[in-house]
Amino acid sequence: MLVVKNLTKRFGDIVAVDSISFEAHEGEIFGLLGPNGAGKTTTIRVIATVLEATGGTAEVAGFDIRKNPEDVRRNIGVLTADIGLYDRFTARENLRYFGELYGLGGEKLEKRIDELIHVLDMGRFADRRAGKFSTGMKQKVAIARSIVHDPKVIIFDEPTAGLDVLASQTVVRFMKNAREMGKLVVLSTHNMHDAEKLSDHVAILHRSKLVTTGSVSEVLQRAGAANLEDAFIKIVGDDEAKSTERARELEQLAKAGKKK
């Protein structure tokens, strides 16, 4: 369903994704894991064809990201950290606009929107303008928006960030349901603890490179670790893990300094 082959993305001198390969299949939750700055979001954007690959390629539902970008987009639903909504539109109107852009319309679209409103528990605010929504409400609408066209592949990038326990559970329940329905759900997160409970297979990125991939049990067995977090530290090495964090902090500070 999703095949990534030697995918590379460079921004000038920065190599954000360095020749990674993995495969993910329908009916599973696939964890795309790694610490901050590992290259997860960039990988997702290249797969979703909003960024152009520098090298390698990927296939989504049999469509190549380079040759058939519009077919790829038709078969994929992506949620990133940018969960902004049209503030002067109601939740329903937001969903309707995107549904129409995905080629839906009429009765069918209205039914799909009602279904999403029910599944994601948005009934209370579906017909209110989005301008005054809380983060949790916005996140739910953004999730519904990303899957309004009922895609075969669903990619969620940090879907529970900023959500309270109840809202997080709604999202988790939704991902499990989607798996039952035979979808491929790619869950991208730096939180390996959460991902371990949900994922069937995982790919772990670190410093733009793929560190390991396979089923959760395979990865744990190979590393001889009790959980994914330990496995990650065992694989990349204790010192490396710490120095990565330090490098990230320095980079962040340098960025903040530049802005001023």
Partner 1 sequence: MKEIYTVWKKELLDNLRDRRTLLTAVLMPIVLMPVILIGTFKLQEYTIKRAEEKVITIAVDSKQSAPTLISYLESQDKLQLSEVPPDIFESKIDDGSLNIYLGIPETFESDFSAEKPVEIKVYHKSSNVDSSSASQRVMVMLQVFNQQSAAQRLGTKGIPPEALMSIIPTPEDTATTQERGGFFIGFLLPMFLVIFAITGGMYIAIDVSAGEKERKTLEALLFVPVSRFKLVMGKYLAVATTSTVTIILSLGSLYTAFKAFPPSGLLGDEVVIDLSIGAIGIMLLVGIILAIMFAGMLLSVAIFAKSYKEAQNYISPFYLVAIFPIAIVNSIPDFKPTEPLFIVPGVNAVFVVKELLLGVFDVTHILITIGSLLFFAVTAIVIATKIYSKEGILFRD
Number of C-alpha atoms within 13 angstroms, CB side, residue 214? 12
- Using CB under 8 A, which residues numbered 127 to 186 contact partner 1? 142, 145-146
Contact stretch for partner 1 (CB under 8 A) within 70-78, 164-172, 196-204, 220-228: 70-78
Contact stretch for Mg ion (CB under 5 A) within 23-31, 37-45, 178-186, 238-246: 37-45
The least CB distance from residue 81 to ligand ATP, in Å, is 7
Among 29, 31, 41, 139, binds ligand ATP (CB under 6 A): 41
- Using CB under 8 A, which residues numbered 84 to 103 contact partner 1? 84-89, 97-98, 100-103
Rounded Cα distance between 244 and 240, Å, is 6
Residue (103 or 224) nearer to partner 1, CB: 103
Kindly tell me the burial class for residue 171, based on how many C-beta atoms sit within 10 Å of its own C-beta (0-12, 13-18, 19 or more). buried
37 binds ligand ATP (CB under 6 A): yes
- Using CB under 8 A, which residues numbered 16 to 45 contact partner 1? 45
Q: In the sheet where 153-157 sits, what is the strand order?
A: 76-79, 153-157, 184-189, 28-33, 201-206, 209-215
Rounded Cα distance between 47 and 232, Å, is 24
199 binds ligand ATP (CB under 6 A): no
Question: What are the residues binding partner 1 (CB under 8 A)?
Answer: 45, 48, 50-52, 70-71, 73-74, 76-78, 80, 82-89, 97-98, 100-103, 142, 145-146
Question: What are the residues binding ligand ATP (CB under 6 A)?
Answer: 11, 14, 16, 34, 36-42, 190
Question: What are the residues binding Mg ion (CB under 5 A)?
Answer: 41
